[in-house]
Structure 1
Amino acid sequence: MSRDVLVTGVEQFFGEDELIVSKTDLKGRITYCNDVFLRIAGYTEKECVGHPHSIIRHPEMPRCIFDLLWEFIQGGREIFAYVKNRCKNGDHYWVQAHVTPSRDRSGSILGYHSNRRVPDRDILENAIFPLYDDLLKEEQRHGNRKEGLQASKQLIDDFLSKNGIAYDEFIARL
């Protein structure tokens, strides 16, 4: 599946009473997605199931946020994050994601489950947009993707340290 989709700049919205739900295996391949996910992202179930969840990754989303997300869930912890996703046609939509590990009866992680809600617009505009813009600019300032990721991780670590809170506390306080 091509990730070279145009970015249109057009934002899509879903209802306050709707949840976008997806599940993945340990490698991030989609094992389930609900009808709201399919409708807003513009994919069919066949185009999603078995494919990397990153098919909806928007290029304007800082990579360090996904790095944090993977760190949390692979460590067995839940995480809340604001995410800009890309639709199949290049449009985008914002979500407040809650991602948790899915476990078997013995407690081993089998995969991951994500519920996404409509985010608070004031939080996006006043906290998330400025932070993500800074993080993305830092990533793009470096010619090497790995160096850019490391630099943006340092930037968010410095931001959190300056404010004396961990990432999950920061998100909870917004």
Structure 2
Amino acid sequence: MATQIKPTQREILFDAADLIVSKTDLKGRITYANRTFCNISGYGEADVIGQPHAMIRHPDMPRAVFKILWDAILAGREVFAYVKNMTKAGDHYWVFAHVTPSFDGARRVGGFHSNRRLPRRDAIASVEPLYRELVRIEASHRNGKEAVAASSAHLNSLIAGNGQDYDQFVFSL
């Protein structure tokens, strides 16, 4: 997508019964998006197929969360995360994402599958200040690699300080 979308700060809510589904290849390019994905994001299917899934990434999302996600799925593990996405119009919507690797016949990771549901509001209220802090940490570094390392270290320290791993942290919210 060539145009830069500016966040509006307007939140889109969707029904608790809605299930947003997408699949990507190994590089994170969308290979499938269900109707709900398209309706909520504001994009048509032709707009998203072949595009990086990051096209719906909201700038309020810390890169450290995506590092955790990518580390897990590339290692063949599922991961859950609270994610703030951005629509074609710049509005945002929160999801509780479950991302899993898809395996080929030889048990090699061949792509990824994500199901997203409406998150609990209390969980979002807990995660928003943390995400703001992680984004602030990332913004204080010029180098992207250093930014992710610093915010990841901060997040891991907070989680470990509670005697949890990432999965336990997410499900404790």
TM-score by length of 1: 0.96
Alpha-carbon offset, residue 3 of structure 1:
5.8
- The residue correspondences of 1:78-93 to structure 2 (distance < 5 A) are 78-93=78-93
1:124 aligns with 2:130: no
Query: Which whole-Å CA distance do the structure 2 matches of 1:141 and 1:34 have between them?
Result: 37
Query: Which whole-Å CA distance do the structure 2 matches of 1:102 and 1:173 have between them?
Result: 27
Query: Which whole-Å CA distance do the structure 2 matches of 1:78 and 1:108 have between them?
Result: 14
Query: Which whole-Å CA distance do the structure 1 matches of 2:3 and 2:152 have between them?
Result: 24
Aligned partner letter, 1:97? A
- The residue correspondences of 1:89-108 to structure 2 (distance < 5 A) are 89-108=89-108
Query: Which whole-Å CA distance do the structure 2 matches of 1:117 and 1:11 have between them?
Result: 15
Percent identity between the two aligned chains: 50
1:23 aligns with 2:23: yes
Aligned residue number for residue 59 of structure 2? 59
| Structure 1 stretch displaced more, 2-11 or 24-33 | 2-11
Divergent runs of 4+, >4 A: none
Structure 1 regions of 5+ residues with no counterpart? none
Alpha-carbon offset, residue 145 of structure 1:
2.3
Query: Which whole-Å CA distance do the structure 1 matches of 2:171 and 2:6 have between them?
Result: 33
Query: Which whole-Å CA distance do the structure 2 matches of 1:3 and 1:97 have between them?
Result: 26
Aligned residue number for residue 172 of structure 1? 171
Q: CA RMSD in A?
A: 1.0
Aligned partner letter, 2:76? G
Aligned residue number for residue 50 of structure 1? 50
Aligned residue number for residue 112 of structure 1? 112
Q: Number of residues paired by the alignment?
A: 173
- The residue correspondences of 1:126-141 to structure 2 (distance < 5 A) are 127-141=126-140
Query: Which whole-Å CA distance do the structure 2 matches of 1:150 and 1:119 have between them?
Result: 27
Aligned residue number for residue 71 of structure 1? 71
8 Å CA contact retained: 1:62, 1:139: yes
SS in 2 for 1:169: helix
Aligned partner letter, 1:70? W
Query: Which whole-Å CA distance do the structure 1 matches of 2:129 and 2:51 have between them?
Result: 31
8 Å CA contact retained: 1:22, 1:32: yes
| Structure 1 stretch displaced more, 142-151 or 46-55 | 142-151
Query: Which whole-Å CA distance do the structure 1 matches of 2:75 and 2:122 have between them?
Result: 31
Query: Which whole-Å CA distance do the structure 2 matches of 1:3 and 1:157 have between them?
Result: 35
Structure 2 regions of 5+ residues with no counterpart? none
